Structure 1
Amino acid sequence: MSGYVGAQHEFHDANFVRGWANRFVPTRDRLKLFDMISEQISQPSLPNAHVVELGIGPGYMARHLLERNPVISYEGLDFSEVFFEIAKETIGDLMHRVTLTKADLMNQAWPKKLSKTPGAIISTWALHDLGSQQAVADVYVRCYETLPKGGVLANGDFIKPEGTTWQYEPGRFEIGLHFELLRNAGFSHPISLAHLEPNIEDPKASENYACIFAVR
């Protein structure tokens, strides 16, 4: 069996964003991804406790990490004002620890908008929406340039699984290619902590995502 895996989004449309956020309420597998990232940003070896999320979306991961990591400060980047409104609702009483920064990751100057240097840059289900391998590669380069020595990058994003006969949208590609792009950016030993909700034979757009991790 073969077909096409991809999705189209209208992240500036309030009705679309509300519906998307409702569909992405964290499941058990998605919470596993959040916990993997939480473990990485709680390591004492991090150069500082400021965490930047690329594409904060509805704020589900932000809330999860803030509840479990009381010492971190948090900065959520997004290009959608609608997502900022939903994120504020989700994060609620923890918003005093959060900075919301409007930025477009396609603009290579986005790191200049950060409030301070992060010890960790994280993202989930966002970078594939940039639409190409080159766009993801550019983000990886900017992350390497932005992080201090010992800083970490954790990207939980949709991938194209090995062995599939399905065609995938350009932003979804193999883990091995992510590793290559990370090494080209300067990261020396990128790894994948997990491949979650794997489905090779009959994949859905919400399946097949990995937790890709690298240290500066």
Structure 2
Amino acid sequence: MPLLDVPSPIDLREMSDARQWAEEAMVKRPWRTEFFAAFADALDAGNAHRVLELGSGPGFLADHLLKALPGIDYVALDFSPAMHQLAAERIGDATHRVRFVERSFREADWVEGLGQFDHVVTNQAVHELRHKRHTRALHEQVRGLLKPGGRYLVCDHFAGDGGMKNDQLYMSIEEQRVALVEAGFARVEPLLLKRGLMLYVASAEH
């Protein structure tokens, strides 16, 4: 029997759903700010000039990174025009450093024309593939976008103790690590584990 994708209970392309998600995200998980800081520290320790965010949403991570790292240029990729509108409002004066790309990373050709990046980042978005079986293919596409020495910072919910119950939508911590390794990332390191979220940094070079 074929595996079925897990339907989303909301449509983030609709402004009402997008705004509600944005309003509730930090209230439900205020520790997200610790993850934003960990992203910034990792990028600051690397060669971060051109950064791509997958599933950039209402711009929480983008806003933090643009403020923390004034030298970066940012590409924010999201399938929702409503989310891009909210992100532009949040980022404000720094929007001139951001290229907003309305595209879904669930589509096979989402990488076309984006170019190469020093870092690719994603926060609480990989599960929007709507089934964990798609994750390795996404990671392989990301690896192809990285410049030599580039790094991939990926944070998402996990299934299992302390995490989410749906083990079709979400991977276990070990499955997250294995998916990155199988996608060709030679070095995969955990950066932060807290309250159901796991952040890894991965690179294709040892």
Task: Say which is worse superposed, 74-83 or 130-139, in terms of deviation.
Answer: 130-139
Partner of 2:13: 12
Q: 1:41 aligns with which of 35, 40, 43?
A: 43
Tell whether 2:110 aligns with 1:110: yes
Structure 2: 5+ residue stretches without partners: 1-6
How far residue 43 of structure 1 moved from its aligned partner, in angstroms, is 2.1
Alignment of 1:160-175 (within 5 A): 160-162=159-161, 167-175=165-173
Residue by residue over 1:157-213, the C-alpha shift from the partner in whole angstroms, topping out at 9 and shown as x without a partner, is: 11113487x73152211111111111111101212212111xxxxxxxxxx111121
Instruction: Please list every run of at least 4 consecutive aligned residues from structure 1 whose deviation after the TM superposition is greater than 4 angstroms.
Output: none
Distance (whole Å) between structure 2 residues aligned to residue 37 and residue 113 of structure 1 = 25
| RMSD value, Cα | 1.9
3-state SS of the aligned residue for 1:12? coil
How far residue 37 of structure 1 moved from its aligned partner, in angstroms, is 0.7
3-state SS of the aligned residue for 1:151? strand
| Partners of 1:162 and 1:174 within 8 A in 2 | no
Please give the TM-score of this superposition, normalised by the length of structure 2.
Answer: 0.89
Q: 1:167 to 1:112 in 2, by over 3 A?
A: same
Residue by residue over 1:50-79, the C-alpha shift from the partner in whole angstroms, topping out at 9 and shown as x without a partner, is: 000001100011000000001100000001
Distance (whole Å) between structure 2 residues aligned to residue 113 and residue 25 of structure 1 = 33
Residue by residue over 1:88-144, the C-alpha shift from the partner in whole angstroms, topping out at 9 and shown as x without a partner, is: 101001101000011111112111141x31100001111112111222211101011
Identity of aligned residues (%): 24
Structure 1: 5+ residue stretches without partners: 1-5, 198-207
Distance (whole Å) between structure 2 residues aligned to residue 185 and residue 178 of structure 1 = 11
Distance (whole Å) between structure 2 residues aligned to residue 7 and residue 102 of structure 1 = 19
| Partners of 1:127 and 1:171 within 8 A in 2 | no
| Partners of 1:76 and 1:101 within 8 A in 2 | yes
- Higher RCO structure, 1 or 2 (CA under 8 Å, sep 6+): 1
| Partners of 2:8 and 2:130 within 8 A in 1 | no
3-state SS of the aligned residue for 1:148? strand
Residue 53 of structure 1 aligns with an amino acid whose one-letter code is: E
Residue 135 of structure 1 aligns with an amino acid whose one-letter code is: H
Residue 16 of structure 1 aligns with an amino acid whose one-letter code is: D
Please give the TM-score of this superposition, normalised by the length of structure 1.
Answer: 0.85
| Partners of 1:103 and 1:113 within 8 A in 2 | no
Distance (whole Å) between structure 1 residues aligned to residue 173 and residue 14 of structure 2 = 31
Alignment of 1:1-216 (within 5 A): 8-25=9-26, 28-44=30-46, 46=47, 49-114=49-114, 116-162=115-161, 167-197=165-195, 208-216=196-204
Distance (whole Å) between structure 2 residues aligned to residue 53 and residue 131 of structure 1 = 18
